[in-house]
Structures are given as C-alpha cells and as structure tokens.
C-alpha cells in the first residue's frame, strides 16, 4: 500500500448488484443472518424518502450497526450535491455508483482504523440497499431542480429564490446567525445585445454565472433575478464578510475575458449588498440591496455599495 489513507476506488453498479443477488450474500461474510436482517430493514427504511440527505443519513446510521465508521461523504457533481456525515478519518474506501452506465456519484467511508477484507465485503453487500433509492432520489432532485432553475445560466430562478430566501431568513433567526444578500447587475449589458446580438449576450450571461459560482462556497446560492441581474444569498455571513465576497465577485468578473464575434469585449458589474436586520422581511432585505445597487450604478458602476 503506497499511502496510509487506504483508499480503494471500486465501481459498484447495478450489474454487480444483480450478480450478487439481492437475496444472496457474498461467501466471505461470516454473519449472514444478521446481515440479511440489516439489509431487509435498511431496504425498507431507505425507500421512505426521496431526499438524498435523509437517505444517506439513514444509511450512515444503520450501516454502523455492522461496520464501525467515523464518517461518510457523498459527491454527485452533475447535481452539485455534496453531503458529509460524521468526522474525518485517516483511512477510507470509496465506491463509484452507477446504473446502466449512468454515473450516480461517489461514496466514501472513513475511519481511523484500516478496513479489512471482510468489512469491505459487508459494505459492498449493504450498498445494494442504497443503489435504487439513491437513483430515485437523484431523478426526483433533477426534476425538481429543472423546475426551479434558469435554463440559460443554470442559476436558480425567481421561484426558487423566493422559496429559499424565506427559508434562510427563518434559519437565520432560529440559529441567531447573520444573513446577507448581494444584488449583481451587468454594466451596460444592453450594449452587448445591441452591438453583438442576443446570442453573444447569452454567452456573457452564462460566463458571468459560472464566474460567480466559482467564487462562492458550496452553501451559498445564486439566482437569476432579472434579465442581467443575479442575486447571491450568503448564509451565516455578516456585513463585512459579505462586502469582501462582493468585491471578490466584482474583481473576478472584470478579470474574465469575454468575446463576441471574435472580438474581446470589456464587462464589469455593479453590486448592492444588504444584511438582514432584526425583524426584517424578505421584501425589505431585497429592497435595501436593490437600493444599494442603484447607488453603485449612480456613482459610476463597476463598484460595490453597502445598504445603510
């Protein structure tokens, strides 16, 4: 073994599940009765939800009845899904999940003690319970996200923004944590459409949305608020930290290269920032961010303005 991390990448797909047989157990497992009971109970539990976080949380809890674990992490890049349970461990085994050639993400088990062959066999056997519930959850998530996503930029749409903003405000108050929003507008965007056509404008919108996402944490959320406006929701972020994020977004956008008809065009953005006040409504929070954005544009654009 070259590394102390004991990382094994194994492709675990539906074909392998069928070879093992849902009612059959690998010969290397020494406790077929308890394992069979656990698989049966787990299969019933995992089918009670279409939420990936709940499914994996139940799986993590139940699997520890057989194989001690310190942590479980899951990544599915196509749906921008990253989940972690427990604390990090020094050793890991990883499985790439797939169904009929469709990638379903990577699952990583971690703990401070190495995994032996029997334990890896038990993990693989229990993974058979997870495959189909996760596939259904990912399909449901994709359908839900499609209804709440702007098709051009991939950012959330206005419906998603309204739902998420109120939820984040409620969480901010419940956990006594700050919440900030950034309203971002592309400067002189009409000129891009007028001079180069709407196709070039669409490319600029896509590029700026990607630039915004690249600068944010996984917990931050981006929504297309209007034609050339984006709203960035910064959870657990106070006024000063939000100002730093806003300035980073402004600089990152300006440093990107944008082309239309083979010609380099200059793009800048203006931003307004507001931080949730005690007892403030969602409408008021957005209104103050929009007013700050207006100040930034009035004062010359390509700048960030903070709400009072």
Active-site entry in 228, 229, 247, 280: 228
Q: Is-catalytic flag, 229?
A: no
Read out DSSP for 161-184? HHHHHHHHHHHHHHTT--EEEEEE
| Total domain count, the chain | 2
| pTM, to two decimals | 0.60
Last residue of a domain, one of 99, 123, 147: 147
pLDDT at 144 over 80: no
pLDDT at 12 over 80: no
**Looking at per-residue confidence, does 100 or 134 come out higher?**
134
Residue 168, pLDDT score: 93
Mean pLDDT of 199-213: 94
> Which residue spans within 25-178 are E strands per DSSP?
71-76, 81-86, 91-99, 102-111
Burial label for 308, CB within 10 Å (0-12, 13-18, 19+), is: exposed
127 to each of 2, 28, 179, 293, how far by Cα in Å? 26, 16, 38, 50
Domain membership of residue 135 (yes or no) is yes
DSSP-assigned letter for residue 156? B
Could you give the CA distance from residue 259 to residue 245 in angstroms, rounded to a whole number? 26
Domain membership of residue 278 (yes or no) is yes
Is 302 found in the same domain as 188? yes
| DSSP H stretches of helix in 22-107 | 32-46, 52-63
Could you give the CA distance from residue 128 to residue 244 in angstroms, rounded to a whole number? 46
Domain membership of residue 142 (yes or no) is yes
Last residue of a domain, one of 126, 147, 168: 147
Could you give the CA distance from residue 1 to residue 140 in angstroms, rounded to a whole number? 40
Over residues 167-183, the pLDDT tens digits come to 999 999 998 999 999 99
Is 130 found in the same domain as 165? no
Over residues 88-108, the pLDDT tens digits come to 888 999 999 988 888 899 999
pLDDT at 21 over 60: no
Is 113 found in the same domain as 173? no
Tokens 């020494």, located at residue: 30
Domain membership of residue 275 (yes or no) is yes
Is 295 found in the same domain as 223? yes
Domain membership of residue 58 (yes or no) is yes
Structural domain including 100 reads: 33-147
pLDDT grade for 13, boundaries at 50, 70 and 90: low
Tokens 């074909």, located at residue: 15
Is 86 found in the same domain as 189? no
Is 169 found in the same domain as 70? no
Q: How far is CA 212 from the centre of its chain?
A: 14
Q: In this structure, how many other beta carbons lie within 10 angstroms of the beta carbon of residue 38?
A: 19
Which of 271, 278, 265, 261 lies closest to 292, judged by CA? 271
Is 106 found in the same domain as 85? yes
Last residue of a domain, one of 118, 147, 176: 147
Domain membership of residue 219 (yes or no) is yes
C-beta of residue 149 within 8 angstroms of C-beta of residue 221: no
Is 140 found in the same domain as 163? no
Could you give the CA distance from residue 129 to residue 279 in angstroms, rounded to a whole number? 46
CB environment 264-275: b (16+ within 10 A), e (fewer)? eeebebbbbbbb
Is 299 found in the same domain as 162? yes
First-residue to last-residue Cα distance in the chain:
59
CATH number of the domain where residue 140 is located: 3.30.450.40
CATH number of the domain where residue 302 is located: 3.30.70.270
Is 298 found in the same domain as 167? yes
Q: What is the mean pLDDT of the chain?
A: 86
């Amino acid at each position: 073994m070259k590394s102390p991390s004991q990382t094994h990448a194994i492709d675990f797909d539906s074909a392998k599940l069928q070879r093992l047989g849902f009612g059959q157990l690998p010969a290397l497992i020494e406790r077929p009765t308890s394992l069979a009971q656990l698989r049966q109970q787990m299969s019933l539990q995992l089918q009670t939800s279409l939420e990936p976080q709940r499914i994996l949380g139940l799986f993590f809890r139940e699997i520890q009845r057989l194989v001690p674990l310190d942590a479980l992490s899951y990544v599915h890049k196509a749906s921008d899904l990253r989940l972690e349970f427990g604390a990090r461990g020094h050793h890991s085994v990883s499985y790439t999940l797939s169904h009929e050639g469709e990638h379903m993400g990577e699952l990583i088990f971690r703990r401070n003690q190495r995994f032996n062959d029997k334990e890896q066999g038990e993990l693989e056997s229990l993974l058979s319970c997870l495959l189909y519930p996760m596939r259904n959850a990912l399909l449901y998530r994709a359908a839900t996200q499609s209804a709440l996503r702007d098709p051009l930029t991939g950012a959330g749409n206005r419906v998603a923004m309204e739902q998420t903003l109120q939820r984040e405000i409620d969480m901010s108050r419940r956990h006594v944590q700050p919440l900030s929003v950034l309203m971002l507008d592309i400067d002189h965007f009409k000129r891009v459409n007028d001079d180069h056509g709407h196709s070039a404008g669409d490319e600029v919108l896509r590029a700026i949305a990607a630039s915004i996402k690249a600068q944010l944490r996984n917990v931050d959320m981006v929504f297309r608020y209007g034609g050339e406006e984006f709203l960035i929701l910064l959870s657990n972020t106070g006024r000063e930290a939000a100002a730093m994020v806003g300035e980073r977004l402004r600089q990152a956008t300006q440093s990107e290269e944008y082309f239309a008809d083979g010609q380099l065009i200059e793009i800048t953005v203006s931003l307004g920032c507001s931080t949730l006040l005690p007892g403030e409504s969602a409408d008021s929070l957005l209104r103050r961010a929009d007013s700050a954005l207006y100040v930034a544009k009035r004062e010359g654009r390509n700048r960030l303005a903070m709400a009072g």
